[in-house]
Structure 1
Amino acid sequence: MAAAGITGTSGRAYSAPTVDLPPLPYPDDALEPVISARTLSFHYGKHHKGYYDNLNKLVADTPMAGMSLEQIIAESADKPDLVSIFNNAAQTWNHTFFWKSLTPKGGGEPPAALKQRIEASFGSMDACKKAWAGAATTQFGSGWAWLVQQPDGRLTVTKTSNAETPLTQGMKPLLVIDVWEHAYYLDYQNRRADYVAAVLDQLANWEFAASQLSTS
């Protein structure tokens, strides 16, 4: 969406919204049988697009129009009067990151450099996956389970509720699993643990995680 100058109700000139909705990085059926084409179509086309549409409506004709998605999240975090903007901005970002966290024929072994960092932080790959699955399955209600890099370089697992994101908590996201019910309920009903295990074993995009890793 290209930026264009507009005048707000206050008479000040703002830019039109510039937040884009990236296309899915794979076809709707690419993640089957772990995630069905029906689930992916609804999840991306209804839920993710809904957050994107709401966000652009909320920031239009405001000083946030023209900001990047990350800037909008930073500007609206922890501000009660901007909670709707934050929720829709963070959910737009979280979902885009989630799609990148998955890949057909994923899972398996991470690239060597990432595997070394995981083993240094968790002790083993199995321990990392166990901690991550534990965060995903014990998140009460809606939320996200993240593999993140801490400011000191350590890799840890964390979980966030609703639209919350590590971006506002000083952590660098590497991968995420969406544990909102709409992410899995059509395929797994209440069996969240089965969904999480299948994502970790068959879809986790370790190459993407390695690309996000800070080496300093």
Structure 2
Amino acid sequence: MKHEMPMLPYAHEALEPVISRQTIDFHYGKHLQAYINNLNNLIAGTEFETKELTDIVATAPVGGIFNNAGQVLNHTLYFLQFAPKPQSNIPQGKLAAAIDRDFGSFENFRKEFTTAATGLFGSGWAWLSVDKDGKLHITQESNAGNPLRSGFTPLLCFDVWEHAYYLDYQNRRADHLNALWNIIDWEVVEQRWK
């Protein structure tokens, strides 16, 4: 199976000023494309050649195939969770109810999630995911890590690799993370919870 670039549901400049066109051009257009090219080259002729991306991420041993597959999946989830003008700045429905149940309130969840993302040392991802019993979890994953490896379903992610924000925010990771809350498409996030 050949993996391809996900199509963005918005123009490259549509997320400004939160994420600039220049960052989208580099982060999506160059970084993600490189991970996809690398993955396709690495899986050719292996047991992973015909597997779905989520299966590769969940089962591949740590190394080149896993690292590139993880980055393809993580970046795909990341870029597709945004909208220039989301319908709502807060989740609705069962996701909102689960956030209230597991974190006390959306405000508390947002604070805990931002703290996890800001405090992750080095490069990686902050995740909101759900386990098989419907409980929500905030996790930090380094490098290409993904909650699928723990049997969780990933719902929301913040990329804290410097290439995600350095062109727009330099070393101000916290400013970037706080701005991301303005462009989350909560309908997309909730649809990930099957």
Shared fold (TM-score greater than 0.5)?
yes
Which residue in 1 is equivalent to 2:193?
A: 213
Which residue in 1 is equivalent to 2:91?
A: 110
In structure 1, C-alpha distance between the alignment counterparts of 2:2 and 2:167, rounded to whole Å: 33
**Partner SS for 1:186:** helix
**Partner SS for 1:208:** helix
Count of equivalent residues: 193
* 1:60 Cα offset (Å): 1.1
The aligned amino acid for 1:99 is: F
In structure 1, C-alpha distance between the alignment counterparts of 2:28 and 2:99, rounded to whole Å: 30
Higher alpha-carbon deviation: 180-189 or 59-68: 59-68
> 1:134 aligned to 2:118?
no
- Show structure 1 runs of 5+ residues with no match: 1-16
- Show structure 2 runs of 5+ residues with no match: none
Q: Contact 1:146–1:159 at 8 Å: present in 2 too?
A: yes
In structure 2, C-alpha distance between the alignment counterparts of 1:63 and 1:170, rounded to whole Å: 21
Which residue in 1 is equivalent to 2:36?
A: 52
**Partner SS for 1:195:** helix
* 1:62 Cα offset (Å): 2.1
* 1:18 Cα offset (Å): 2.0
Which residue in 1 is equivalent to 2:25?
A: 41
Matches within 5 A, 1:20-169: 20-78=4-62, 83-106=63-86, 108-169=89-150
The aligned amino acid for 2:99 is: I
In structure 2, C-alpha distance between the alignment counterparts of 1:73 and 1:206, rounded to whole Å: 24
- RMSD after superposition: 1.3
Over 3 Å off, 4+ runs: none
Q: Contact 1:97–1:175 at 8 Å: present in 2 too?
A: yes
The aligned amino acid for 2:37 is: D
Q: Contact 1:69–1:93 at 8 Å: present in 2 too?
A: yes
In structure 1, C-alpha distance between the alignment counterparts of 2:41 and 2:186, rounded to whole Å: 35
Question: C-alpha deviations, 1:118-159, integer Å up to 9, x for none?
Answer: 101100010000010001100000000111112221112111
The aligned amino acid for 2:154 is: P
TM normalised by structure 1 equals 0.85
Which residue in 1 is equivalent to 2:170?
A: 189
* 1:100 Cα offset (Å): 1.6
* 1:63 Cα offset (Å): 2.6
In structure 1, C-alpha distance between the alignment counterparts of 2:58 and 2:131, rounded to whole Å: 18
The aligned amino acid for 2:61 is: A
- Percent identical among aligned pairs is 47
Q: Contact 2:59–2:149 at 8 Å: present in 1 too?
A: no
